[in-house]
């Protein structure tokens, strides 16, 4: 069985992430989308909230599972016995960063964790979680960025903060 992890912050999940999830699910028997619990990033949504959003958005894709982890990806991948990490590439800036992470993970895992890249679909390549948060903060239109229930959660977060 071909299994892959799609790790990330997903703060929050956007249509760009969802597109990568769907495409990965067509290419692997099982895709484990896993939220990285990285307190240093000061996320807007808690890990539990991010997991719930991903669960709701992927509920109709049977071979996608949602999880979370902290610590090094290579340790998590070893623990759940998955040899492939999936990541998305939007632009050259992503490439530089992602290449370094992929090579570090390969080195640290002694070649046991490979990274597979999916290039962003044209209609989503401008999308980022930080951009989405900025739009939400000013009450802008998120209909092309995230599912409606995620937009509602974002507006609610920023209303709380006001």
The residues assigned a catalytic role are 17, 41, 90, 129
Is there binding between residue 127 and ligand ADP (CB under 6 A)?
Answer: yes
Is there binding between residue 87 and ligand ADP (CB under 6 A)?
Answer: yes
Q: Closer CB to ligand ADP, residue 9 or residue 105?
A: 9
Q: Closer CB to ligand ADP, residue 68 or residue 128?
A: 128
Length of the chain: 162
Please give the Cα distance from 162 to 157 (Å, whole number): 9
Is there binding between residue 106 and ligand ADP (CB under 6 A)?
Answer: no
Distances in whole angstroms, Cα of residue 119 to Cα of each of 23, 24, 103, 123: 10, 11, 18, 12
Site for ligand ADP in 16-55 (CB under 6 A): 16-17, 20
Tokens 């209909």 sit at which residue? 143
Is there binding between residue 90 and ligand ADP (CB under 6 A)?
Answer: yes
* Cα angle for residues 124, 29, 107 (degrees, 5° grid): 75
Is there binding between residue 114 and ligand ADP (CB under 6 A)?
Answer: no
Contact segment (CB under 6 A) with ligand ADP among 47-55, 64-72, 83-91, 138-146 equals 83-91
Q: Which residue in the shown chain puts its C-beta closest to ligand ADP?
A: 16
- Alpha helices by DSSP H, listed for 58-144, are 73-79, 92-108, 129-137
């Amino acid at each position: 069985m071909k299994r892959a992890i799609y790790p990330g912050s997903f703060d929050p999940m956007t249509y760009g992430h969802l597109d990568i999830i769907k495409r990965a699910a067509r290419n692997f028997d099982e895709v484990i989308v896993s939220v990285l619990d990285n307190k240093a990033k000061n996320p807007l949504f808690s890990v539990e909230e991010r997991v719930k959003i991903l669960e709701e958005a992927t509920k109709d894709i049977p071979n996608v599972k949602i999880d979370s982890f902290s610590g090094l990806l290579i340790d998590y991948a070893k623990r759940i016995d998955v040899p492939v990490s999936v990541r998305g590439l939007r632009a050259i800036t992503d490439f530089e960063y992602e290449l370094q992470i992929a090579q570090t993970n390969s080195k640290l895992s002694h070649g046991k964790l490979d990274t597979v890249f999916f290039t962003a679909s044209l209609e989503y390549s401008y999308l980022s979680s930080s951009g989405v948060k900025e739009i939400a903060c000013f009450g802008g239109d998120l209909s092309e960025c995230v599912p409606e229930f995620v937009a509602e959660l974002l507006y609610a977060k920023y209303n709380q903060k006001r």
